[in-house]
Structure 1
Amino acid sequence: VGNGGQESVCGWCKDKWGISWQITPRVLTDAMAAGGDEAKRAFDAMMTMVKIDVAAIETARRG
């Protein structure tokens, strides 16, 4: 996003040509694969982020 793009929530960003991308950290995909409460906590944490905070997702995942 540093060269004309734009950040958005939940790991989404738009590049300088207007194409949207979602950055998905491995810790989130691992939590989603685990399922249950762990997945819900990690997902809920990610939904509040503009800049992805892996440590916060890991903390949420552990409960």
Structure 2
Amino acid sequence: MHVPAGSVGIGGPQTGVYPLATPGGWQLIGHTSLSLFDPACDEPILLRPGDSVRFVPQKEGVC
């Protein structure tokens, strides 16, 4: 299955965001428009190991 960049998925006990378009197999639960990886930037990676991320619905009543 082809997964678009920015897709949010659950795989077992983990939740992750696909930084690039790639094949994948996790259960997709959402999408973010944030660019998590941009090789042209001085700091190309937005998130680092140990960072905390909170996912919130974009629309009231939509999970």
What is the TM-score with the length of structure 1 in the denominator?
0.25
**Bigger fraction of residues in strand:** 2
What is the TM-score with the length of structure 2 in the denominator?
0.25
**Bigger fraction of residues in helix:** 1
Larger relative contact order (C-alpha < 8 A, sep ≥ 6)?
A: 1
